[in-house]
Amino acid sequence: MDFYASELCISRQYLNRILNSYTHNSASKWIAFALTGKISNLLSNTTMPIQRIAETLDFPTQAALAKFFKQQTGLTPTDFRIQNFPMG
């Protein structure tokens, strides 16, 4: 959240307040939503290894990406990929 607030030249508190007032969701929820979308897109539309997706999106490890993704979607990245990008 600090990155986005900084890019907008506002405080993270103000960013959170604005998003909450207009969307009834926190900045953290919006960021998680957008990041989940990026991960989903890469899993569905590429054969990029999950480790490379984690590196590309600045997750510290593949396990951290998997934990985040499962919290957001209820599926592991592998299970999501199988459901959305069947091989063969």
Q: Which residues contact 56 (CB under 8 A, 6 or more apart)?
A: 42, 48
For position 56, what pLDDT does the model report? 95
- The pLDDT-based confidence of 87 (bands split at 50, 70, 90) is low
Q: How far apart are CA 16 and CA 64, in angstroms?
A: 24
DSSP 11-72: -HHHHHHHHHHHHSS-HHHHHHHHHHHHHHHHHHH----HHHHHHHTT-SSHHHHHHHHHHH
pLDDT band with cut points at 50, 70 and 90 for residue 86: low
> How confident is the model at residue 1, as a pLDDT?
80
pLDDT surpassing 80 at residue 88 = no
Q: Summarize pLDDT for 48-85 with one digit per residue, the tens.
A: 999 999 999 999 999 999 999 999 999 999 999 999 87
- The token duo for 56 is 């590309």
Q: Give the model confidence (pLDDT) of 2-21 as tens digits.
A: 888 888 999 999 999 999 99
Structural domains in the chain plus CATH codes? 2-84 (1.10.10.60)
The whole model's pTM is what? 0.82
